[in-house]
């Protein structure tokens, strides 16, 4: 069965070199990247990919977010280099990489839409990858709202990747967190909080066709369906110093119904019960195969293998499995591929 892995990570070599040059103080990133060769070494990536039959990848840059690497002018140059690098790879290896999600300089509002247009119109990006906050600011800040309008206009997806933040009123603050809790639980929390901002800012009322792919099977939302559902139906009952009840009236639907409008990927690192829970929440037509490779203990193949094992083991008609593995993505990413 053909498989299109829509969320996995890469540093195209020219981008990686530029990042190391332009973003000094990020030597820690360099060190971590060098520990995971598949991130920058194409031959290693092909060796890992070849272990899996009929397996292709949509390319996304690895984190940290572009906007965390430097001031706006640096971010713009880095985003351009990242997108040029990924475009080069999909041109050169279309059978390996049928597409990519563009990286954006989210801290450079003046250049943001321009780079988006360049990536989609000129470089052939399938959509864009953004992070759950912009250097601490929520995604519904005035500077970044126009991106949602643009992407809804394109009818192309936004990949939503979690990002740690230093401090913000409704996100965890964990510059110096213990035990990497910021990663294990903080990232899905960030994803969930960002989803809430998108919902309560009314973005799905404004753009019912808005397509947002949430990493790691929708963050916390499916497991906490009860809190998002009847819990948030009581929005305002836990707040004394502000009247939040009007917010529910302003929205056209129940909060829960908007959360079901997101898309989600299967990157649960081999967690079968979680995958079932996520599938039950979003429905198989909104779930897309993804591995989050190469960030696993084996530095590449493990999460691909374990995710395939979970999906192959779930009881569902084969045409539904094929949708999750590839067809949902072809439709969402507007790809027209012939064969693998």
Q: Which of residues 21-60 bind its own copies (CB under 8 A)?
A: 28, 31-32, 35
**DSSP annotation of 143:** T
- Interacting span for its own copies (CB under 8 A) from 3-11, 91-99, 145-153, 179-187: 179-187
- Interacting span for its own copies (CB under 8 A) from 113-121, 171-179, 206-214, 316-324: 171-179
Q: What's the rounded Cα separation, in Å, for the pair 283 and 258? A: 14
- Closest Cα partner for 8 from 310, 308, 331? 308
85 near its own copies, judged by CB under 8 A: no
205 near its own copies, judged by CB under 8 A: no
Q: Who contacts 196 (Cβ-Cβ below 8 Å, separation ≥6)? A: none
The answer to whether 156 touches 139, Cβ cutoff 8 Å, is no
Angle between helices 13-22 and 72-92 (to 10 degrees): 170
**Partners of 3 in beta bridges:** 55
280 near its own copies, judged by CB under 8 A: yes
- Interacting span for its own copies (CB under 8 A) from 47-55, 118-126, 142-150, 232-240: 232-240
175 near its own copies, judged by CB under 8 A: yes
184 near its own copies, judged by CB under 8 A: yes
Work out how close the CB of 138 gets to its own copies at its nearest, in angstroms, rounded to a whole number: 8
Query: Of 33, 202, 269, 285, which one interacts with its own copies (CB under 8 A)?
Result: 269
Shorter beta-carbon distance to its own copies: residue 169 or 318: 169
The answer to whether 196 touches 245, Cβ cutoff 8 Å, is no
* Angle at the Cα of 283 from the Cα atoms of 278 and 286, rounded to 5 degrees: 90
Query: Of 54, 230, 283, 331, which one interacts with its own copies (CB under 8 A)?
Result: 230
């Amino acid at each position: 069965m053909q498989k299109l892995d829509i969320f996995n990570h890469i540093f195209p070599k020219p981008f990686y070199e530029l990042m190391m040059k332009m973003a000094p103080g990020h030597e820690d990133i360099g060190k971590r990247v060098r520990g995971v060769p598949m991130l920058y070494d194409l031959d290693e990536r092909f060796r890992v990919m070849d272990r899996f039959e009929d397996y292709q990848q949509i390319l996304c840059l690895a984190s940290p977010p572009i906007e965390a690497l430097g001031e706006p002018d640096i971010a713009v140059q880095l985003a351009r280099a990242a997108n040029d690098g990924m475009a080069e790879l999909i041109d050169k290896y279309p059978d390996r990489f049928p597409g990519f999600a563009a990286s954006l300089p989210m801290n450079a509002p003046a250049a943001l839409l321009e780079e988006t247009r360049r990536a989609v119109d000129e470089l052939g990006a399938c959509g864009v990858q953004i992070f759950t906050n912009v250097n601490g600011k929520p995604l519904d800040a005035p500077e970044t709202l126009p991106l949602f309008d643009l992407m809804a206009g394109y009818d192309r997806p936004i990949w939503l990747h979690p990002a740690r933040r230093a401090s913000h009123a409704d996100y965890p603050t964990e510059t110096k967190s213990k035990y990497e809790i910021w990663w294990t639980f903080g990232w899905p929390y960030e994803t969930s909080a960002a989803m809430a901002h998108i919902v309560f800012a009314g973005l799905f009322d404004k753009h019912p066709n808005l397509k947002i792919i949430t990493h790691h099977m929708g963050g916390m939302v499916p497991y906490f369906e009860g809190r998002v559902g009847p819990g948030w139906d009581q929005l305002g009952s836990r707040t004394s110093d502000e009247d939040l009840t009007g917010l529910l009236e302003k929205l056209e639907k129940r909060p829960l119904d908007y959360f079901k409008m997101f898309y989600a990927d299967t990157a649960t690192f081999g967690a079968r019960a979680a995958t079932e829970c996520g599938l039950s929440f979003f429905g198989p037509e909104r779930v897309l195969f993804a591995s989050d490779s190469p960030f696993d203990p084996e530095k590449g193949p493990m999460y691909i293998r374990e995710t395939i094992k979970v999906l192959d083991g779930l009881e569902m008609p084969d045409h539904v499995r094929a949708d999750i593995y590839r067809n949902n993505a072809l439709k969402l990413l507007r790809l027209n591929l012939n064969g693998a």
